[in-house]
Chains A and B, each alone.
Chain A
Amino acid sequence: MSWWRRLLKRGEMERHLDAELRFHFDGLVADNVRAGMSEPDARRSARLEFGGVEQVKEECRDARGTRWAEDLWQDLHFALRTLRKTPGFAIAVIGTLALGIGMNTAIFSVVNTVLLKPVHAPEPDRVVTFIATNSGGSTSSLASDIKFNLWREQTSVFEDVSGYFLSPLDLTGIDQPQRAEAIFITKDYFRLFGLPIAQGRGFTDEEERPTGTKLFEKGHVVVLSDAFWKRVFDGDPKMVGKVISLGGDPYQVVGIMASGAQTETAESPDVWVPLLIHPNSERQVHYFQALGRLKPGVTFDKANAQLRLTTQEFRRKYPKSLSTSRGDTFSVQPMQDVLVGDVRASLLILACAVGVVLLIACANVANLLLVKAAGRRREIAMRVAMGAARGRIIRQLLTESVLLAMAGVALGLALGVAGIHALLALNPVDLPRIGQNGSNVALDWRVFVFTILAGLTTGLVFGLIPALQASRADLNSNLKESSGRTGSGLHQNRTRSLLVIAEMSMALVLLIGAALLIRTLIALCSVNPGFDAHNVVTTRTTLDPRFTKAPGVNQLVQNALGRLNALSGVESAGLTGLLPLAGPFSSLPVIVVGRALDGPSHGNSSYGQVSADYFETLKIPLLRGRTFTDADRLESPQVAIINQAMARHFWPDGDPLNSQIQIARGLPGLEEPVRQIVGIVGDVHDDALTRNTLPALFVPVAQRPDARTVGSSVAWVVRVHAESPSLNSAIQNELREATGLPVPSLRSMEEIVAKSTARQNLNMLLMNIFGGSALLLAAIGIYGLIAYSVQQRTQEIGIRMALGAQPGAIRSMVLVQGVWLALIGVAVGIAAAFGLTRLLTSLLFGVQPRDPLVFVAVPVLLAAVALLACYLPARRATQINPLEALRWE
């Protein structure tokens, strides 16, 4: 009979064993009778000879080899029965574990996707981003042609050095003109990321070399993404070789990317087009990013040493380079680090926070198991006294705690999966690398295995400790102790008290972190963005007169704004190259006419073209001078308006309104005419609300020749009386009709403002979920401990009351016990938080890491919750009936 059959046919085996032994016994009796004994004598003699039947049976059962499985089954049954008798305990343990495991699984799955997963490239840890650090210490990953060419020449340390930037292109010449997300790349980009081209080929050397002298020359070949090819061209099998129109220029399709090809630099580009950089280019504009791969055997140190030499060469070669580049030092960083950027800090902190929640959860489970085991000491002593083997008892207690842990883990997994979905649904914010709608984030099995181990270990260790204690303990004292249980105060529950203190202090640290983030968000919400976002909608187009309905860009803009203003429901309409909160914008050098060129009062400024009524439309305050008017035309005197930051930075003492400036002097293709400053406007946050506004300079779009404006991307802003979907589509239609350009759907400016704080919002929300969970767990922990101690002291309390103690005195006796624990926990927590909150600095805004209000309010809150948690068992203590208490057990 196989092992399995022996296990499953246990009943039959038992019957057979019975019959076999009975047959033997009857044989003995029969023989005895035959030998001349009377029937009763024969039986008695047989019984004597036979010995203990049960003992023989036990040994036969052992011989079956199925014993441990049967025991396990029995233990499981017993454990389930015990747990069903104490559902509160079971729910607390399982819930606590599930909470800890679920949160950790969810958060770490996101952390893994964003921070830890290597970039999608061959030899991912050797893929680097080129960085320029200026003399002020701030870094930029934007590159210019001259820098790029220099870097590309360092073939002893780098290979596949490639540049890229993202910019949408309008696809025309088909039924439904639409936007295509384009990525401009140099040809080695394909090899750098090992991108598989399914049909056709990538780019050749000739195709990425400019032929003319135009500033931004465009390529004439394109590789389509698999999805774009299928969506727009219905998967045309003869697509390679055909010509399509992108941004008004013809491009020949030379290749189609394999489906599922992943690129780390863009979410999902529709088309890959060549980025043309001439090897002898003198261009100093920073507009793309440069990547590369370290050659085999080259370390980061070696590569960076080489780049320092390159920096010197660069300065020698371009002694009159722009002030932006003058102090630059070049270096490389792992691409992954640059990609993740400042999300790293917040994700790491959230990961630590959620780890602390897991610790609290484990402490809570340990506490509950210890309390439970202590309550069963007498039961165990009784079983040992009746002959149960020690190993057997330990095994049984372990079965129970492991069963609990498994249930917690299972529920935790479910919570984790739900948590990931919730996190992504809530807000894929602008987390890098998570894919479209977070499709790259999946439950990570390593994370899950880790949390399972954490849960099981807690169950095993804290199930084992009391099991060992209880089974080893002196029977006599155990049986005796429980008959006269008095005064089992806190000194007898030292481990448990320590666990509760630890829980309280960890919870306090998390709560203080959460409170600081709440204050950050409040501070952010009170930041004045510098404009009025209410009832403003916006959309973005690329100005390209080749397929528009107006003779020139200016005419086009005038027509469109005129038609928008005429729409009913529209208050005013404007156009800008610097949409608030859409930055950071690249900057160009600005020179104040008449000042010495080496002086400190020159610098960089972002600059953009705006329509005359842009400032009025966004209600950006005019501080001095005037705004632009329709009189500022191409042929009239050239004017500019600056923001307050620029006024402060360039004219700390003087008056800007008397000054003339020139943008990009000496830069071919970028140089602007000298302009008179006519006004100063208030600062508008063009990047994040948390960052100070940088100098910005505005020029009238009407004063720029078409040659400059063609191909530039601008935002239309429209102030309406009341936002409505129908008005939005009316505006969209009007714009499309007036310009003939593809117009994306409108977005509300308020939404853009809200989105700019989305990351802080997410941080705050998650931290508060963690803090709240920690608070709940700590409250359960302290409640459990005090409730247990009240239960243990029932008899003592009964005696006290019988001797005349007032309920109030009893209540405060119990409360004091709990409050002490809470206070110690709070004190430790404050000390820890005092040291730790500094790590949060990068996530905070408008609040100090040691904000006094937070450090007072949060401990008070925690203490109050702890007091409440202790009050419940304290009240129960006063309701003890002395008579019953004395009879208890």
Chain B
Amino acid sequence: MTQPKSDLPQGTLDLLILKVVTLGPIHGYAIAQRIQQISRDVLQVQQGSLYPALHRLENRGLLAAEWKDSETGRQAKFYRLTAKGQTELKSETESWKQLAKAVRLILESSEANG
């Protein structure tokens, strides 16, 4: 944890969770770790926001959950993406990319630099 932690903008956590879950059924602890690994420790997800977000997504029908044996042999709650979640992920990714592009254009424009 040499690099400073970064706070996630509103709504971004949901998008990250949906993305991570596309890789296959996965439990909460692994989601947190996966986000941390992939972001090379830049993004650290607190349990305090992870679980409410998971439950919210589940209640909105974007995620489905199931209790299964985990790699350690203990029962864990595995989340997977629903069809509705897939659609949501696609449109959210699209709008995120557009937003990022727009932000970059502004940040790198010469006028603003000057």
Please give the residue numbers on chain A whose beta carbons come within 8 Å of chain B beta carbons, in ascending order. 1, 6, 16-17, 19-21, 23-24, 26-28, 30, 49-52, 55-56, 59-60, 62-65
Contact = CB atoms under 8 A, between A and B. Distances in A.
B91 to A, nearest CB: 22
14 contacts: A16-B77, A17-B51, A19-B75, A23-B74, A27-B29, A28-B29, A51-B47, A51-B48, A56-B52, A59-B51, A63-B56, A63-B59, A64-B55, A65-B59
Contacts of B58: 1
Given A23-B70, A50-B47, A64 B76 contact: no
B110 interface: no
A623 to B, nearest CB: 97
Interface string B28-72: 110010000000000000111001110110110000000100101
A96 B40 CA distance: 71
Interface in B73-96: 74-77
A50 B74 CA distance: 20
A56 B70 CA distance: 23
A62 B52 contact: yes
B19 interface: no
A55 B48 contact: yes
Contacts of B56: 63
A378 to B, nearest CB: 35
Looking at chain A's contact residues, is the secondary structure mostly helix, strand, loop, or mixed? helix
Nearest to B56: A63
A23 B29 contact: yes
A767 to B, nearest CB: 60
Nearest to A31: B33
Nearest to A6: B59
Contacts, number: 58
Interface size class of B (residues with CB under 8 A): 20 to 34
Looking at chain B's contact residues, is the secondary structure mostly helix, strand, loop, or mixed? helix
Name the residue in B27, B46, B55, B59 with the highest tally of chain A Cβ atoms < 10 Å from its Cβ: B55
B46 A51 contact: yes
Contacts of A52: 48
B8 to A, nearest CB: 16
Nearest to B64: A1
Contact of A56 (B29, B48, B72, B75): B48
Contact of A20 (B28, B46, B59): B28
Contact of A21 (B32, B51, B59, B74): B51
Contacts of A20: 27-28, 51, 76-77
A19 B48 contact: no
B51 A60 contact: yes
Contacts of A6: 59
A60 B48 contact: no
Interface in B3-27: 27
A582 B63 CA distance: 85
Contacts of B77: 16, 19-20, 23
A878 to B, nearest CB: 60
B29 A59 contact: no
Contacts of A27: 29
Contacts of A56: 47-48, 51-52
B46 A64 contact: no
B52 A60 contact: yes
